[in-house]
Structures are given as structure tokens and as C-alpha cells.
Amino acid sequence: MFTPLQQFCDRLLLRSACRLCQRPATEILCLDCGRQLQACAQPRQWQSYGVTVWAWGDYAGLLRRALQQVKFDRDRELAQALGQCLADSLIDWPRSPQLQLVPIPIARDRYQQRGFNQAEVIASAVAAAQGWPCNRRSLRRLQATQALHGLSAEARRQEVAGVFDWQASRQSGEIWLVDDILTTGATLREATQTIRANGDRVRGWLLLSQTPALEGLNADKGSATILKLKKQRHPCRDSSVGRAED
């Protein structure tokens, strides 16, 4: 608990609470949470379903908590911060004029409830940082699905069958689908299949997180490459996520 005097000083200095621990911070995360989030960066890359899968970190610890807060507390700024973390890990990617990011759309009622699509916010942050186009229009979700959490892989596959529509653009180029969490991959496979059925090629899936058990499900044993990162920028320093005070 903070004293009334501390609260008054915080208001005076325009300090707000860290989104993850509620301690005072001048930006959305305090220094400590920024460091912990930075430690979640363990990018992996592997091949699955004919595409390159690239995931920034495990869906665990602070990253899991942050993603839950994005969804359940409708925290768009935190989603942007996570997208910035992902973008910072991609600075060495080769520039390709053909590349475009396509976020996985959410159902209309969820969009109205939340006010944003977290995959779109993450994709936009990456697109802005990398100078890649973000295509929000071509892939549409035709119908809502029940929450996939708790369903078996087969039930997930059946639930998402036929939910997407792809309006091919003239220059589809090298498509990378973007999502916040990769679990069994049912949603991303369905989107990939829909795009392929319309004559376009999906080059890869770009994920903020993957569930820890995923490699066993989707990749041949031992085929996932753990990527070494160059020193990352602290999410609370030198980036749009901002500076924090403890």
C-alpha cells in the first residue's frame, strides 16, 4: 500500500502503476518487470506444416501473465509493448520487399468485447519496426468459435475448420501469419490451408509465444533450433515501451 503522500507525489510526477506489479512506473512497465520480460526471450525456429515456425518465447511465467492481462484486462498498450519485444528480436532478419505480415483475426464479438485484436496489435508493432506491410484485410474470420482451451487437438481442428476466408491480393508475396500464442497449431494450420487453397503461399508463422509442450507435437524431435539473440534492448529502455522508475 502506498501512503497518500506517495500517491500525491505519483500524481504530481505523472507516474502510473506498472501494469504487471502495480509498482510506480513512468511507463507501462517498471524496470524489474521489463527485465523479467526480457528474460522470456528464447526464440526458436522449426519447420512444421510446410512453413517456418518462429516463436519468441514460451507461454509461461511473466510472458503468460502479460498475455492474459492483454486479453482479460483489454490492455492494448501492453500488447504493443510485447510486439516491440518481438520486433527487437527480428532486427537481423533479411530485408525482403515481398514479405507481408498477416495477423490471425479474432471473432467479431471478441473484437467488440476487447476493443482490439492482440495478434493485429503485435503484428502492427513488428511491421512498424521492420518496415514490413501489415495486411489486416485479406484474411477474415467468417464465424466465431468456442474457446479452444481445454479441447483436444482433433476437437480444435474440427472447431476451426472452414472459419477463415482469404481475399487474395494482387501482390501476396511472402506471407507470414502472426499470432500471440501457438498451442496445437490448429488455427494457424486452418488459416494456412485457406490461403493455399486460394493459390497463395504461406512462408511462415511468427508467434509471440508457444506452449512449452508444442515441440513434441509439431516438430520432429530435435529439429527445433534455439536461436541466439544479440543483446536485446530492455523493453523499458530505449524503445517505445519507455523508461521506468522503481
When asked if residue 18 is in the footprint of Zn ion (CB under 5 A), the reply is yes
Please classify residue 192 by burial: count the beta carbons closer than 10 Å to its beta carbon, then call 0-12 exposed, 13-18 middle and 19+ buried.
buried
Q: How far apart are CA 173 and CA 203, in angstroms?
A: 9
Q: Are 172 and 202 in contact (CB under 8 A)?
A: no
- Tell me, by CB under 5 A, how many residues bind Zn ion: 5
Residue number, 126 or 241, with CB nearest to Zn ion: 241
Could you tell me which stretch among 32-40, 81-89, 161-169, 179-187 binds Zn ion (CB under 5 A)? Answer: 32-40
Query: Contacting Zn ion (CB under 5 A), which of 17, 21, 90, 129?
Result: 21
User: Which cell numbers in the block locate residue 175?
Assistant: 506471407
28 belongs to the binding site for Zn ion (CB under 5 A): no
Q: Which string of b and e fits 229-244 if b means at least 16 CB within 10 Å? A: eeeebbbbeebebbeb
Question: Residue 222 Cβ, how far from Zn ion at the closest point, in Å?
Answer: 37
Span interacting with Zn ion, options 16-24, 44-52, 145-153, 196-204, rule CB under 5 A = 16-24
Residues in region 33-92 near Zn ion by CB under 5 A: 33
Beta carbons of 170 and 201 less than 8 angstroms apart:
no
Determine which residue in the list 24, 27, 28, 30 makes contact with Zn ion, applying CB under 5 A. 30
Which part of the chain contacts Zn ion (CB under 5 A), choosing from 3-11, 12-20, 123-131, 164-172?
12-20
CA distance 72 to 87: 23
Q: Report the interface residues with Zn ion, using CB under 5 A.
A: 18, 20-21, 30, 33
